[in-house]
């Protein structure tokens, strides 16, 4: 059964009709309002993201600017440094050029100077060979004072030797003294000391002679050996380090040396000593009275070997 529309409408209340009407009319509006909110929220989010991106971009720009300023400062510093180095390099090149020119000039002068000095030295040797000491002395002194190519200590030694050979002992002694005082590292120092001591002895200055010889007592060269020989045998100076008396005993073909002993049972040595054993000239006296007189080295007697007509004779100097 179909109910007519007017009847249906009559049965519905006015409120119901209004409610239904409002629903149909407001539903599109509500949906539209919700979409707007969503759009606004999305826009707000995008704006926020845009601000964040802008902030990061700004930070990066600031960082890049600061780095650029830093690199700019470094570039300026490096540029300035390069300019300074280039200027210094130019100055050094100029100095090197000047030095090279001076070196060439010096070498040229040095060669001629060396030739001149060698020529003068040859003249000195010629004068020495004929005994012309007065002219020789002036030439040697000129070389010592003005020369640069010859050993000055050798020139002084030559002058001292020449004066000594011609009997000018005091003058020779003064030149030996000059070598000793002015050239303490000279290879001719020990020779000068020994020769000076010899001159002092000839001039009667015995104590000074002893003092000069004592300077050489520990030297291992020939002048040290000569000095120990004179100290021990000429001046009889007792010193356990280089001269005196030792006692010895032959044990298994090896000599054992000691300071105190008995002449009746031990061999007695009198002479030069080095490092606690006989070394140099000396005399070894056996308990039975026999003697060895001669050279000793490192505690052992050195026989004298004489060659004659291709025959070798050993002299033991036993008395």
Q: Compute mean pLDDT per 10 residues along the chain, 319 residues long, and list them.
A: 48 51 52 70 78 81 79 79 77 64 54 64 69 73 73 86 88 92 92 94 92 87 87 78 83 87 88 85 88 86 51 39
Q: What is the pLDDT of residue 200?
A: 94
Question: What was the pLDDT predicted at 130?
Answer: 65
H or E element: which one contains 189? helix 189-202
Q: How far is CA 18 from CA 24, 64, 115, 127, 152, in A?
A: 10, 68, 141, 157, 140
| pLDDT at 260 (0 to 100) | 87
Look at residue 318 in the predicted model and tell me its pLDDT.
38
Q: Which two tokens stand for residue 152?
A: 């000055």
**Residues 292, 279 contacting (CB under 8 angstroms):** no
The CA distance from 140 to 126, in Å, is 12
Q: Angle at which helices 152-165 and 189-202 pack, to 10 degrees? A: 20
Which residues 6+ apart lie within 8 Å of 220 measured at CB? none
Q: Are 101 and 93 in contact (CB under 8 A)?
A: no
**Torsion 54-58-59-60 (CA) sign:** positive
pLDDT of residue 271: 86
Closest Cα to residue 246, out of 289, 225, 277, 290? 277
- Determine the pLDDT at residue 7: 47
Task: Please state whether beta strands 304-308 and 300-302 pair in parallel, antiparallel, or not at all (unpaired).
Answer: unpaired
* Residue reference for tokens 């000599």: 255
Torsions phi, psi for 72 (to 5 deg): -65, -45
The CA-based dihedral angle spanning residues 202, 208, 211, 213, taken in that order and rounded to the nearest 10 degrees: -10
pLDDT of residue 9: 47
Name the residue with tokens 């100077």. Answer: 113
Where are the chain's structural domains? 240-319
């Amino acid at each position: 059964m179909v109910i007519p529309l007017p009847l249906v409408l009559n049965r519905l209340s006015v409120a119901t009709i209004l409610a239904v009407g409002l629903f149909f009319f407001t539903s599109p509006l509500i949906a539209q309002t919700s979409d707007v909110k969503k759009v606004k929220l999305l826009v707000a989010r995008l704006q926020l993201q845009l601000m964040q991106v802008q902030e990061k971009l700004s930070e990066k720009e600031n960082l890049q600017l600061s780095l650029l300023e830093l690199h700019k400062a470094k570039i300026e510093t490096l540029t300035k440094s390069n300019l300074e180095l280039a200027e210094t390099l130019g100055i050094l090149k100029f100095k090197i050029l000047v030095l090279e020119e001076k070196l060439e000039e010096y070498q040229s002068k040095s060669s001629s100077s060396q030739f001149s000095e060698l020529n003068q030295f040859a003249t000195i040797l010629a004068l020495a060979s004929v005994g012309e000491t007065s002219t020789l002395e002036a030439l040697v002194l000129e070389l010592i004072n003005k020369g640069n190519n010859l050993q000055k200590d050798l020139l002084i030694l030559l002058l001292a030797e020449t004066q000594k050979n011609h009997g000018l002992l005091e003058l020779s002694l003064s030149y030996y003294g000059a070598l000793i005082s002015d050239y303490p590292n000279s290879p001719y120092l020990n020779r000068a000391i020994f020769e000076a001591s010899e001159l002092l002895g000839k001039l009667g200055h015995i104590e000074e002679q002893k003092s000069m010889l004592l300077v050489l007592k520990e030297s291992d060269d020939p002048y040290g050996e000569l000095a120990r020989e004179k100290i021990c045998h000429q001046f009889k100076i007792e010193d356990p380090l280089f001269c005196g008396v030792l006692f010895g005993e032959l044990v298994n073909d090896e000599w054992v040396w000691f300071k105190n002993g008995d002449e009746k049972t031990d061999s007695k040595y009198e002479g030069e000593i080095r490092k606690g054993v006989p070394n140099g000239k000396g005399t070894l006296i056996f308990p039975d009275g026999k003697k060895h007189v001669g050279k000793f080295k490192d505690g052992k007697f050195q026989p004298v070997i004489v060659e004659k007509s291709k025959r070798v004779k050993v002299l033991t100097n036993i008395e």
